Structure 1
Amino acid sequence: MQNILDEFKNEIEKNDFFKQIKTPNEYNSIGTTWEISEEIGTGFYWVYAQKDLFDIKIHDFFLHEDSFLEFNIPECLSITEYFSISGEELNPYRRLNAGCIKTFIGGYKPYRVLIHKNIPIQSIGIEIMPAFYEKYLKEQYSNKYIHPLKAFQIIDQIYEFPQIQKLFFELKNYKENNGLASHLYYESKVNECVSLVLDYANELKTEKLNPLAADDISLLNDVVDYINDHYAFDIPLKRLANIALMGTTKLKKSFKQYKGCTITEYIQARRMAQAEHLIIETDLNINQIAKTVGYSTSSRFATLFKETTGLLPNAYRKIAKK
């Protein structure tokens, strides 16, 4: 198989989005760095790749215009943490949030996303390739081998995964270039990552692998539609339970299984999506926007907005309207 760094280089050079440069001091010189074209945006993309086994990627750039992007990602299992982001995944539609840990299974369908202009895309992620999880791991641990695909599928999108967040923090701040020692360090972190995913997915497995009934899915869609129409108002959980014809405990569990987030997280995501629009497209002050999307105080709104986008509302407006 072709070296994955060569595949990556060939792919990004097709569209002239990035050009390879000497790695700046803020990144580890053991990796390779690309700078985004100044006509399109500003910033860098850093990659460390190990043959056809795995790669580690750091994004730190923004785009000058709202951009629809589509990538044919090769077969792989990936996990990424977003520190700052503004946009939506498409097919299926889902908001991209800062503070989110996402897994993705490559090689099955194009990854389609809409990225909002001027807001930094800051993330770090690991992609492991079939040669790693179907050959290397299988050969090393033949008697205990478990294919990690289902574990990555189960995790999907979460906000609390402190062990992997600690791992990404360590990777992001590792600057040593000590030859073999550094290569072994990155390899050990990839192994640790797979171990953490397998352990965490095992905790989630029971609720994720019990499919929802068709009737429950239909009722949950009614709940989602109601929230979409009333997200800016207080919505008692009991009211949603009545719509779903479920008890509150079953509703909370079923909703999280269906949408991959809690009801509170879903409402917050809808509010923040509208807040982004109002911040960019109107002259309403932050207090007015907070009340419009359902928050009684601008301080609470600002705190949640920063958790979602990585920026405070005023900073977001300043950058977006630059």
Structure 2
Amino acid sequence: MGTNEYFKGNEDLMMHLGCTKKDDGNVSRYRLPSENGNSWLVDVKPRPGLIITNAYFTLHQSVTWMCEIEQPGLWLCSFDCGDMTIVEKGKKTRQLQRGVHLLVNRGKSFKKIFGSEEPIRYTAAWIFSDFITKYLKDRGWVEPLSIDDALNWESHCYNVPELVLAFEQLKYGIRQKEPPLMYLETKIIEILSLIVLNMGLNGYDERFEKTKRAKFLTYQNMKFIMRVKAELDKNILSPPPIRDLAVIAGMGTTKLRLLFKAHYKLTIADYVRQEKMNYALRLLWKDDMSIQNISTFLGYESPSKFTVAFKKVHGLTPRDARKVFNL
């Protein structure tokens, strides 16, 4: 017997945590017991097969939640902070870091482990196969978009600033008193479309030019490059120097720079800048932090230099971003 996320979203988990529930049409709002402080979770169900969640809660002890979802689907999560781990059979355990993450469900059980060290904050969506199929069928489109396709999606095609921004917009939509269902559904389609676009562009030039051996990644190279990225993600505000990263990768600094860019389509410096600006986008939601505070926190010499870096990644200034989100 499977768990019932397809029909009930996070209801069973929230009831397990002792939450109170308030339903309002397509929206379910859960509030954790008062001893958990200001802790809550909101599920919105714009369409059958689509559940969008915004979570903001603190736990007093870790909780392990076993999921056995029969319906195939994708779980896309923009993780802000906290201690949350995904355990899938036959795969490496993933402790989520800040960024966008993907889980492809094909009926196998998996675990979500929620820690108690710090507040857990994320915005996520369960996008089930029948929602995708119906959306495409209604429009008569044949697009490379299915659960099986998602197994080949690479992290640098969905963990990008455009998706972080889209999830932040989703968060703002969910937190409204009456979430606009059409907007939320359309934003999910935008997210999926961006991933399909990024996958289509991924490695286009390299398909026809395999003579660039200096940039060719062996499987072993790829493992070390991914280890370097994981090391950067641990402390993106104060990343290790390139020499230390080269030691982790077991190669020279020049080769590391070449292979990192070949795999992630970004230089190491650009990746660090991108992730800092993704972090900055989330900090803009904190009412008690001015743009100057955020600039200093991220290590910029002045708000003007921070603004230039932010606009280069997100296409608008921090001040304009706050206006867009009505902050």
**TM-score bracket for this pair, using the shorter chain length:** 0.5 to 0.7
State the partner residue of 2:7: 6
State the partner residue of 1:171: 170
Q: In 2, distance between residues paired with 1:128 and 1:254?
A: 30
Q: 2:255 aligns with which of 247, 251, 273?
A: 247
State the partner residue of 1:43: 39
Q: 1:85 aligns with which of 65, 74, 82?
A: 82
Q: 1:197 aligns with which of 190, 195, 198?
A: 195
In the TM superposition, residue 147 of structure 1 has moved relative to its aligned partner by: 1.9
Structure 1, 82-91 or 155-164: larger mean CA deviation: 155-164
SS in 2 for 1:236: helix
TM-score (norm 1): 0.59
Which digits, 9 at most, give the CA deviation of each residue in 1:1-30, with x for residues without a partner?
xx96634366437x622544236xxxx975
RCO greater where, 1 or 2, for CA within 8 Å and sep 6 or more?
1
Structure 2 stretches lacking a partner, 5+ long: 211-215, 233-238, 273-294, 300-327
In the TM superposition, residue 32 of structure 1 has moved relative to its aligned partner by: 0.7
RMSD of the TM alignment (CA)?
A: 4.8
State the partner residue of 1:63: 59
Which amino acid in the other structure matches residue 115 of structure 1? F
1:236 aligns with 2:243: yes
TM-score (norm 2): 0.58
In the TM superposition, residue 215 of structure 1 has moved relative to its aligned partner by: 5.3
Which digits, 9 at most, give the CA deviation of each residue in 1:247-283, with x for residues without a partner?
33444247759xx9969989xxxxxxxxxxxxxxxxx
Which amino acid in the other structure matches residue 61 of structure 2? E
Q: In 1, distance between residues paired with 2:267 and 2:32?
A: 33
State the partner residue of 1:94: 94
Q: In the alignment, is the contact (CA less than 8 A) between 2:57 and 2:120 conserved in 1?
A: yes
Which amino acid in the other structure matches residue 102 of structure 1? H
SS in 2 for 1:81: strand
1:301–1:137: structure 2 CA closer, same or farther, 3 Å change rule? same
Q: In 2, distance between residues paired with 1:136 and 1:36?
A: 35
Instruction: Give the fraction of aligned pairs with identical amino acids, expressed as a percent.
Output: 15
Q: In 1, distance between residues paired with 2:6 and 2:204?
A: 37
Q: 2:28 aligns with which of 32, 55, 58?
A: 32
Q: In 2, distance between residues paired with 1:248 and 1:105?
A: 30
In the TM superposition, residue 56 of structure 1 has moved relative to its aligned partner by: 0.9
SS in 1 for 2:66: strand
1:9–1:214: structure 2 CA closer, same or farther, 3 Å change rule? closer
Q: In 1, distance between residues paired with 2:154 and 2:226?
A: 22
In the TM superposition, residue 47 of structure 1 has moved relative to its aligned partner by: 0.6
Q: In 2, distance between residues paired with 1:240 and 1:12?
A: 43
State the partner residue of 1:296: none
Structure 1 stretches lacking a partner, 5+ long: 267-299, 305-322
1:208–1:134: structure 2 CA closer, same or farther, 3 Å change rule? farther
Which digits, 9 at most, give the CA deviation of each residue in 1:120-178, with x for residues without a partner?
11111222111111233134233x42224435742436796333233222222232638
State the partner residue of 1:308: none
SS in 2 for 1:191: helix
Q: 1:183 aligns with which of 181, 184, 197?
A: 181
Q: In 2, distance between residues paired with 1:222 and 1:125?
A: 25
Which amino acid in the other structure matches residue 166 of structure 2? L
State the partner residue of 1:75: 72
Which digits, 9 at most, give the CA deviation of each residue in 1:62-110, with x for residues without a partner?
1112344433344211222122223444441333223x11122123433
Q: How many residue pairs are counted as aligned between the two chains?
A: 257
SS in 1 for 2:39: strand
Q: In 1, distance between residues paired with 2:115 and 2:203?
A: 34
Which digits, 9 at most, give the CA deviation of each residue in 1:176-226, with x for residues without a partner?
638xxx3322222222222222223323355999995455468779989x9
